[in-house]
Amino acid sequence: MPLPGRRPRADENAGEAALSVAQPIRAPSAALPARLACLACAVALAACSLQTTPSASASPSTAGPSAGGSPSESANASAEPSPSDSGRLILPAPTATDSTTISYTVSVEVAAGASGQLVVVVTNLGQELVPELVLRWPTELRDTVFLAPFQPSAQRIREGGDPLVQDWTKWVEGPGEHGEPAGTTSLGWGPLLVGGTLTIPVLATRVAPGPITFDLQILNGEALLQTDGAPAWTQVTVP
C-alpha cells in the first residue's frame, strides 16, 4: 500500500487493481449458499404440499361406509319369516289399512287329527260402518285343513230347490277381481254395523294329519282393520 506524500509505484497500483478485481469475485461465492438454502426451503415446501394433497381425496372414502348401509335394509326386508323358516303359512301385507278399531276372538274347535270349525267373533268399536268384513288366510292351508263357509250337501246343489240363504258375501281364491292377492283365500261376511258383532263359523275339514299354523287377517274389503292400535293380523294353530 503506498505511503502518504509519495507517488505509488506501478507494482503497487497493480496490486490494488488486483485487489479491486478480486472483491467482486468473492461476493457471489458468499451469496451462493444463501441461494441454495432458499432453494432447499422451496423444495421442502413443495414436498409438504404434495404430502397434504392426498388428504383432500380422503373425503370421498367417507361415502363408502354410508353406501354400505344398504345391505342392512335388504336384511330387514327379509326379516319376515317364510314358511320354510318357521313352518307357518304367512300372508302378504295388504295394500291399505283402515283406522276403524275392532275387537275379535278366534276359537279353534278342532281336535288333533280331526275336522271341526273355527269361530271368529268380530265387534265394531269404531264410529263408521264396515261395508264388507273379510277374513283372509293362505290358500296353501287347504293341503292340511280345508276352510269353507258351508258344508256341501245335496240340498244346496240340487236344481229347483229352495232359494239359498247364506251369510257370506264372497269366497275368493286370489288373484281376484277386487284386488285379492294371489296365494290367498278371502271370505267376505257382509257389513259390520257400528257397535255390531258378527259371529263367523268357518268349517275346517281335515285333509292331512299334523298341526298347522297360519296367518289370519281381518279386513274391510282390502284394507286391514285395527285392534288396540295394532293390525288385525293374527296367527292361528290347528292341532
Lowest-confidence pick of 106-110, 176-180, 193-197: 176-180
Cα 92 to Cα 85: distance, rounded to the nearest angstrom: 16
Residues 98-136 have pLDDT tens digits of 999 999 999 999 999 999 999 999 999 999 999 999 999
226, pLDDT greater than 70:
yes
| 110 vs 151, higher pLDDT | 110
Q: What is the DSSP secondary structure assignment for residue 142, as one 8-state letter?
A: G
Lowest-confidence pick of 34-43, 125-134, 144-153: 34-43
194: pLDDT confidence band, cut at 50, 70 and 90? very high
Domain boundaries, the chain: 10-52, 88-156+167-238
13 touches 1 (CB < 8 A):
no
pTM of the complete model: 0.62
Neighbouring residues of 129: CB distance < 8 A, sequence distance ≥ 6: 191, 192, 193, 194
pLDDT at residue 77, rounded to an integer: 28
The CATH number fitting domain 88-156+167-238, selected from 2.60.40.290, 3.40.50.2000, 3.20.20.10, 2.60.40.10: 2.60.40.290
Task: Tell me if residue 46 falls in helix, strand or coil.
Answer: helix
Residue percentage of the chain with pLDDT more than 90:
52
